[in-house]
Amino acid sequence: MDLCETIEAEFGSDLRSSKGFCVEMWSALANIQWYYKDDKEDQGFTFREAGGVIAEIRDEGSYMDWYCSGPYAVVSEKIAERMAKHGWTWKDYV
């Protein structure tokens, strides 16, 4: 499973409609390791890549619009629960 596809499917409308949610999502992507079910390899994003994912889904701006827009490596309960519905769990890089 591709992490970007899950983010687009589950959060696309939220990201397109709420800049505040974009900041929350950037925090949940930057320097976080996401694991799909029993996969041993993680998927994750650097600060720039996390911003790029959001800009691409919004079809607006660039990674710099979201780069360091919130605290990094912070996954809200709301995002964690919605990702878990799709089989994703997370761990920070620390």
pLDDT score for 38: 82
* In the chain, where the domains are located: 3-92
Confidence of residue 93 (pLDDT cuts 50, 70, 90): confident
Q: Which helix (H) or strand (E) holds 68?
A: none
Nearest CA to 56 among 48, 79, 1? 48
Distance of CA 74 to the CA centre of its chain: 10
Q: State yes or no: pLDDT of 70 exceeds 70.
A: yes
Q: State yes or no: pLDDT of 94 exceeds 70.
A: no
pLDDT tens-digit series, residues 2-60: 999 999 999 999 999 999 999 999 999 999 999 999 888 899 999 999 999 999 999 99
